[in-house]
């Protein structure tokens, strides 16, 4: 996993690299500029006219170096400098290096700014900003945002705080090219309008320092997923891969049970039973012949629990409804102490009957989408507040709480938050959550811990969506496609 460091740690990482590589700061800046330019030239051709907007700190020094290098690549470049009393030494060095090569314009000179540019590179502020942009800096941000160009931010969009909620003007970047490690703010929904699509470039900061640096914020990678996957023994049998129970479906919502069941089987569970109301028995046995069916005495809803002696884990919630009998049956199910994956209507019942929360077995996984999460914990003021509430709930329940969406956040009882790196907007369709419930239940039944199952499950779920999106297009994705592409997702990490 990639570590997500706070601003103090990022500053220490830069200083440690300079002292211990060793490398002088201007040469490290040069390396960062080259990494940015290497990305840039692959995405924009030299026919596109480039403007670079620089502050007078180190981020502005990056901008000057980038402007000089793009000029050497044959791009038409103009540089605007937003003046300040504070000027960093490396900015001054790069200011001298660009003289006579690229036009350098004082932002205060004239009112026609950025005319003739196709792309604006934002190098006004770096990641160390701790107060809202004001005065001439706010004016520069407004001018960038209101110019009809593609905006590319260097390391972080100017005005955006890296690890706290942002107030004040912020550049609305189409692309953000960040150095070495992602910033926490990139991964929260409230900042997408500013960050756009972000890419990470390696600038050779000290790997030993990163390895030893303590943090509780992480970004999932394929390498981590590969490490989690358990190899299968040649002489294993279905009994080695667990027996899962899914409690799902009600009259008119049996599709949720079918999707969750098929996903659990594709996730590799050895045996699967599905507890459904009477109306669902024929549907399940026809649609999912590999699953065994446990039939509720009620024809339309979940009202009783079967014998649980043979089950390793229980997935509950998709399509069960929120009736009084179902609530009482969920109460009884929670009281058994079996580890669970809790989703959908089960979460809504818990939100409406908070006295049941203490019954959730430790080591379970809760999988709310943002609205379900809001019902559980109440409103939040911003996404950083939401993240704090998510961590608090995980600690209180001694369980994993994952909030679904772009960069699905997995919070652990130990205080860690891991953001997922797979998935796309095409997955915003009915049934996607039911598929995830099935995947997580199937993984936990095989002996994966709740943390392992959550990380691997959301990664595979998103990757299946990415594979489906590449072949079929995102607009046409349906939940069944995620199941169909799940084998391909497994193949990439096996």
Q: Return d(Cα 52, Cα 121) in angstroms, integer.
A: 5
| pLDDT value of position 471 | 97
Q: Report the relative pairing of strands 340-342 and 365-366 from DSSP bridges.
A: parallel
pLDDT band at 130 (very low <50, low <70, confident <90, very high): confident
Please write the tens of the pLDDT for every residue from 50-69.
999 999 999 999 999 999 99
Task: Tell me, yes or no, whether 319 and 250 share the same domain.
Answer: yes
Helices (H), 25-179: 25-43, 58-72, 89-98, 135-145
Task: Tell me, yes or no, whether 112 and 79 share the same domain.
Answer: yes
Average pLDDT, integer, range 165-178: 97
Task: Tell me, yes or no, whether 51 and 96 share the same domain.
Answer: yes
Assign residue 101 the CATH number of its domain: 3.40.50.10260
Average pLDDT, integer, range 30-42: 98
Task: Tell me, yes or no, whether 255 and 291 share the same domain.
Answer: yes
Lateral strand order in the sheet of 292-295? 2-3, 217-219, 417-419, 409-411, 400-403, 365-366, 340-342, 313-316, 243-247, 271-276, 292-295
| pLDDT value of position 287 | 98
Task: Tell me, yes or no, whether 452 and 477 share the same domain.
Answer: yes
Tokens of 63: 């901008």
Q: Return d(Cα 176, Cα 207) in angstroms, integer.
A: 22
| pLDDT value of position 101 | 97
Average pLDDT, integer, range 105-120: 91
**Which of 460, 462, 398 shows the shortest CA–CA distance to 228?**
460
Average pLDDT, integer, range 485-492: 98
| pLDDT value of position 128 | 87
Last residue of some domain: 182, 214, 246? 214
Question: Do the beta carbons of residue 436 and residue 403 sit within 8 Å?
Answer: no
| 260-281 CB burial, b ≥16 within 10 A, e <16 | bbbbbbbbbbbbbbbbbbebbb
Task: Using the predicted structure, report yes or no on whether residue 110 has a pLDDT greater than 80.
Answer: no
Burial class (CB in 10 A: 0-12, 13-18, 19+), 160: buried
End-to-end CA distance of the chain: 17
pLDDT band at 488 (very low <50, low <70, confident <90, very high): very high
| pLDDT value of position 290 | 98
Task: Using the predicted structure, report yes or no on whether residue 200 has a pLDDT greater than 90.
Answer: yes
| pLDDT value of position 250 | 98
Token pair 């969920």 in the structure block, residue = 330
Average pLDDT, integer, range 206-221: 98
- What is the H or E stretch that residue 51 is in? strand 50-54
Task: Tell me, yes or no, whether 332 and 209 share the same domain.
Answer: no
Q: Return d(Cα 109, Cα 98) in angstroms, integer.
A: 19
| pLDDT value of position 40 | 98
Q: Rounded mean pLDDT of the chain?
A: 97
Average pLDDT, integer, range 276-305: 98
Task: Tell me, yes or no, whether 208 and 248 share the same domain.
Answer: no
Task: Using the predicted structure, report yes or no on whether residue 112 has a pLDDT greater than 90.
Answer: no
- What is the H or E stretch that residue 347 is in? helix 344-352
Task: Using the predicted structure, report yes or no on whether residue 335 has a pLDDT greater than 90.
Answer: yes
Task: Tell me, yes or no, whether 349 and 283 share the same domain.
Answer: yes
3-state secondary structure of 250: coil
Task: Tell me, yes or no, whether 282 and 331 share the same domain.
Answer: yes
3-state secondary structure of 481: helix
Average pLDDT, integer, range 244-249: 98
| pLDDT value of position 283 | 98
Task: Tell me, yes or no, whether 178 and 288 share the same domain.
Answer: no
Please write the tens of the pLDDT for every residue from 264-276.
999 999 999 999 9
Q: How far is CA 138 from CA 7, 55, 120, 182, 333, in A?
A: 22, 12, 16, 25, 56
Under DSSP, the state recorded for 299 is: S
Last residue of some domain: 214, 246, 265? 214
| pLDDT value of position 272 | 98
Task: Tell me, yes or no, whether 207 and 304 share the same domain.
Answer: no
Number of domains into which the chain is organized: 2
Q: pTM for the full model? A: 0.97
Task: Using the predicted structure, report yes or no on whether residue 111 has a pLDDT greater than 80.
Answer: no
Structural domain range at position 273: 222-493
| pLDDT value of position 159 | 98
**Which of 3, 33, 35 shows the shortest CA–CA distance to 209?**
3
pLDDT band at 109 (very low <50, low <70, confident <90, very high): confident
Task: Tell me, yes or no, whether 184 and 236 share the same domain.
Answer: no
pLDDT band at 167 (very low <50, low <70, confident <90, very high): very high
Task: Using the predicted structure, report yes or no on whether residue 385 has a pLDDT greater than 80.
Answer: yes
**Which of 409, 408, 454, 461 shows the shortest CA–CA distance to 432?**
461
DSSP 175-242: EEEEESS--GGGGSGGGHHHH-EEEEE-----HHHHHH---SEEE--HHHHHHHPPPPPTT--GGGG-
Assign residue 289 the CATH number of its domain: 3.40.1190.20
Average pLDDT, integer, range 317-330: 98
Last residue of some domain: 170, 198, 214? 214
Name residues whose C-beta falls within 8 Å of residue 428's C-beta, 6 or more positions apart in sequence. Answer: none
């Amino acid at each position: 996993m990639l570590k997500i460091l706070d601003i103090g740690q990022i500053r220490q990482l830069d200083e440690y690299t300079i002292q211990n590589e060793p490398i002088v700061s201007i040469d490290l800046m040069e390396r960062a500029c080259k990494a940015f330019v290497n990305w840039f030239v692959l995405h924009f051709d030299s026919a596109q006219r480039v403007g670079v907007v620089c502050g007078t700190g180190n981020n502005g020094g990056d901008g000057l170096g980038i402007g000089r290098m793009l000029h050497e690549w044959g791009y038409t470049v103009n540089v605007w400098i937003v003046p300040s009393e504070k000027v960093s030494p490396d900015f001054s060095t790069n200011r001298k290096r660009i003289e006579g090569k690229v036009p350098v314009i004082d932002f205060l000179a004239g009112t026609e700014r950025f005319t003739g540019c196709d792309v604006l590179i934002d190098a006004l502020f770096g990641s160390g900003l701790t107060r809202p942009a004001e005065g001439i800096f706010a004016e520069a941000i407004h001018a960038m945002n209101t110019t009809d160009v593609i905006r590319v931010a260097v390391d972080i969009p100017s005005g955006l705080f890296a690890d706290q909620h942002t107030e004040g003007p912020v550049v609305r970047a189409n692309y953000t090219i960040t150095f070495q490690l992602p910033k926490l703010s990139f991964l929260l929904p409230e900042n997408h309008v500013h960050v756009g699509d972000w890419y990470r470039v390696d600038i050779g900061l000290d790997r030993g320092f990163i390895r030893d640096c303590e943090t509780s914020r992480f970004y999932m990678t394929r390498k981590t997923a590969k490490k989690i996957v358990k190899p299968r023994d040649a002489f294993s049998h279905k009994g080695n891969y667990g027996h899962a129970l899914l409690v799902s479906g009600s009259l008119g919502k049996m599709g949720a049970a079918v999707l969750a069941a098929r996903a659990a089987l594709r996730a590799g569970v050895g045996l699967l039973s599905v507890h459904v109301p009477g109306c669902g028995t024929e549907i399940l046995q026809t649609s999912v012949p590999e699953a065994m069916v446990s039939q509720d005495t009620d024809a339309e809803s979940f009202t009783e629990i079967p014998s649980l002696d043979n089950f390793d884990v229980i997935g509950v919630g998709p399509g069960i409804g929120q009736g009084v009998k179902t609530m009482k049956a969920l109460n009884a199910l929670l009281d058994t102490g079996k580890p669970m994956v809790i989703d959908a209507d089960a979460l809504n019942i818990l939100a409406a009957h908070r006295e049941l929360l203490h019954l959730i077995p430790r080591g379970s996984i809760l999988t709310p989408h943002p609205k379900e999460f809001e019902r559980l914990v109440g409103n939040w003021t911003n996404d950083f507040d939401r993240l704090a509430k998510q961590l608090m709930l995980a600690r209180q329940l001694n369980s994993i709480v994952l909030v679904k969406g772009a960069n699905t956040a997995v919070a652990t009882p130990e205080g860690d938050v891991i953001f997922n790196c797979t998935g796309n907007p095409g997955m915003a369709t009915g049934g996607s959550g039911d598929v995830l419930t099935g995947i997580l239940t199937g993984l936990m039944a095989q002996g994966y811990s709740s943390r392992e199952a959550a990380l691997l499950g959301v990664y595979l779920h998103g990757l299946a969506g990415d594979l489906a999106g590449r072949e079929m297009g995102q607009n046409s994705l349906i939940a069944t496609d995620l199941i169909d592409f799940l084998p391909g997702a497994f193949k990439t990490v096996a």
